[in-house]
Structure 1
Amino acid sequence: MFKIGDKVVYPMHGAGVIESIEEKEVLGEKRSYYIMKLPIGEMKVMIPMDSIDNIGIRQIIDEDGYQKVMSILKDDCTSMSTNWNRRYRSNMEKIKSGNIYEVAEVVKNLALREQEKGLSTGERKMLENARQILLSELVLAKDSPAEDVEGMLEEFFA
């Protein structure tokens, strides 16, 4: 169980801070929800408390995790399928996993591919989504403004 003030990651949405715990009636059923505020875009997400294990909610990374993400971003591109469809499915699975290291790998690989060959519209949208997920967790992990973390990410791919 998480508590108010905890920094957590919601796979496919990114990281945020649990602002409150509320009971709401949705579709005629009363349930308790974590209300999570994302640091980017000022969006709030309702997470059903009774299904957090299925969703894959987890604590944000610590300093060691942050350093590991940085080393992933600095490393060379990992192998990706040349087949667009396979590459897209593989990257989508990595993003859905909620694993920050896999998301960092997707961001790095797609950003490098974009520089070399360009990306399709679907992959460009995937890169932007993965970037936002990565950015939201790094902002909370380092307790830094989004602009600073975004600038640091830009330096990796300049």
Structure 2
Amino acid sequence: MLQVGDQVVYPMHGAGEIAGIEECEIMGQVKQYFILQLPVGDIRIMIPTDNADGIGLRQISPPEMLDRVAEVLLDEPERPLGSWNKRFHSNLNRLKTGDILEVAAVIRNLILQDRRKRISGGEKRLLELARQIFVSELSFALKLPTEQAEGWMMEKLDSNHS
């Protein structure tokens, strides 16, 4: 079970630290909640301890996983699905998984698509969200400032796709 001080990833929000566990009464029910502190935007989120797995709360990826992440960033982009709307929903569903490899694939595909042909405004916002999620986890995993984590990501993308 997760504990105070654990570094975790919350899908669609990014990485943070469990700052505490509190009991709260909500709608007549007393439950325990993880208090998750996200450094990006200095956000605090309450997550029911009994549903943490169900919503995808997980430990930060271990540093060994970064070799696989780098492979994803270096891979050729996937063929874009038809319209921007289909791509958007497909990419959104991938982000919702909370899987760092899926998030890396979304970033790679959207950045490379944008270099070839400008992506839509909705896809640009999705790309920014994906970058925020990815860089927050990467900075925790590598114990780097976010700027250096972003640099690591862009170095991988640029080395094979310039």
TM-score (norm 1): 0.92
Cα distance change, pair 66–39 in 1 and its aligned pair in 2 (3 A): farther
Amino acid corresponding to residue 64 of structure 1 in structure 2: E
Aligned residue for 2:33? Answer: 33
The aligned amino acid for 2:12 is: M
In structure 2, the partner of 1:20 is 20
Corresponding letter in the other structure for 1:52 = A
Query: Which range moved further: 100-109 or 56-65?
Result: 56-65
Worse overlay, 40-49 or 25-34: 25-34
Count of aligned pairs between the two proteins: 158
Give 5+ residue unaligned stretches, structure 1.
Answer: none
**3-state SS of 2:2 partner:** coil
- Residue of structure 2 in register with 1:149 after alignment: 149
Q: Distance in 2 between matches of 1:39 and 1:144?
A: 13
Alignment match, 1:89:
89
1:111-156 per-residue CA deviation (whole Å, 9 max, x = no partner) reads: 1111110111110000001111111110110011111112222333
Query: Which position in structure 2 is the counterpart of 1:140?
Result: 140
When structure 1 is superposed on structure 2, of 37-46 and 88-97 the one drifting more is 37-46
Residue 79 (structure 1) aligns with: 79
Aligned-residue identity in percent: 44
Q: Which structure 2 residue ranges, 5 or more long, are not aligned?
A: none
Comparing 37-46 with 114-123, greater Cα deviation is found at 37-46
Deviates more, 1:27-36 or 1:135-144: 27-36
C-alpha RMSD over aligned residues: 1.5
Q: Partners in 2 of 1:38 and 1:68 — Cα distance?
A: 25
Could you give the per-residue CA deviations for residues 63-99 of structure 1, whole angstroms, max 9, x where no partner exists?
A: 2211211121122212221322221111111001111
Q: Shift in Å at residue 103 of structure 1?
A: 0.7
Deviating above 3 A after TM superposition, structure 1's stretches of 4 or more consecutive aligned residues are: none
Task: Map Cα deviations across residues 5-64 of structure 1 (whole Å, 9 max, x no partner).
Answer: 111111111111111111122334322111111232222211111211211111111122
Letter in 2 for 1:63: P
Distance in 1 separating the partners of 2:152 and 2:62: 18
Q: Partner of 1:116 in structure 2?
A: 116
Partner of 1:67: 67
